[in-house]
Amino acid sequence: MRTLFAGLCLALLVQAAAYAVSDSVGDFYRGKVLTLFVGYGPGGGYDLVARVLARHLGSHMPGRPTIVVQNMPGAGSLVAANYLYNVAPHDGTQFGLIARDMPLLGLLGHNPNVRFDSHKFTWVGSASDFSDDAYVLIVRKDAPVKSIDDARRPDGPVLVLGGTAEGASSADVPKILRDALGLHLKQILGYRDSAAIFLAMENAELNGRMAELSSVRATHPQWLKPDSDYRILVMYARTKRDPEFPDVPTARELAPDKAARDLIEFTEAPLLTMAWPFVAPPGLAQDRAAALQSAFAATAQDSDYLADAASLKIAVSPVNATDIYRAIDKLSAASPDILDYVRNLMNAGKGG
């Protein structure tokens, strides 16, 4: 009986402590306005995903704070990532949505402008994995390249693609395809955000770009119709062909040898895990980090949130913070050879 009584007392103490922590977090967040930074400008896929989440996340947090979205474009979300790591208050009132290749960029250590440690960020979760998405090389139909075979011909024409900055997927994925698959590409970087790149395509300043399929679906769905003035040449970060586009090959199947396929699979890994990664500054108090992570997981099951996302054609297949940490650890454990190869690949494209 004494053992039973002691166990009951311990359980009550643990429960009381949990309630005290919950009340403390609720008291902190009650009446607060949280800022959700987006590493890109308004109108693109990242912006849409962030704003949908912001409309619902607060109702699942202790204290039910208000959440506002603030765009912080620059260097493919590197500006936002550096801000969140070094400048933002480490108290749980600011967090952000950054590019899905930022964790890999932080691990490679080849870019002197990266001022964060991917391991030390407080990862909140990803709104989706990439199972229902892909990076697509989409081009105008009047581009000099009419097919993926054209783009791989040694004497073939050159595709002119647009991107934001080194380190952004719009810049780095084309370099991977160029080197791994032998595509003839030229990049023009420096566009402010995704909307500016799409506009440059419409104005025929560019032949095409790499973009998330979900972003094209949400912002330019007419481009995906069979009779549109645009075509998709290849899909990256997809293990199998998309049933909606059965004639479009994946990058994996186009790999000419094992080395090329290994490179593609390694660089696809973080994209497949974290399509829309939300992150908070390092060093957050454990209870506030847990509050953000738990609220994020609960929002992903919220029927109103899911309906809101579906209305904008945003796929939701959430990834929790634990799985993001695990994916980063796995990337860190890659062989030195492949890490060096990717570093050199990224460095080789600078200024090109």
What number of other Cβ atoms are within 10 A of residue 341's Cβ?
18
Percent of the chain at pLDDT > 70 equals 91
Element (H, E) at 96: strand 94-97
**Residues across the chain:** 352
3-state secondary structure of 21: helix
CATH architecture group of domain 135-270: 3-Layer(aba) Sandwich (3.40)
Contacts of 302 (CB under 8 A, 6+ apart): 56, 59, 60
CA 189, 192, 195, 196 torsion: positive or negative?
negative
> If pLDDT is split at 50, 70 and 90, which confidence band does 9 have?
very low
- Looking at residue 108, its amino acid is L
What pLDDT is stored for residue 167 in this prediction?
A: 62
CATH 3.40.190.150 fits 28-129+273-339, yes or no: yes
Q: Is the pLDDT of residue 274 over 90?
A: no
pTM: 0.73
CA 151 to chain centre: 27
- The answer to which of 13-22, 61-70, 219-228 has the lowest mean pLDDT is 13-22
Mean pLDDT of all residues belonging to the chain: 89
What number of other Cβ atoms are within 10 A of residue 158's Cβ?
13
pLDDT tens by residue, 179-217:
899 999 999 999 988 889 999 999 999 999 999 898 898
Q: Is the pLDDT of residue 110 over 70?
A: yes
Percent of the chain at pLDDT > 90 equals 67
Residue in this structure with the two tokens 């959430």, named with its chain if needed = 318
- The answer to which of 112-116, 134-138, 170-174, 315-319 has the lowest mean pLDDT is 170-174
Can you give the residue ranges of every domain in the chain? 28-129+273-339, 135-270
> And the tokens for 227?
């009779």
What pLDDT is stored for residue 21 in this prediction?
A: 42
Decide whether 28-129+273-339 matches 135-270 in CATH topology. Answer: yes
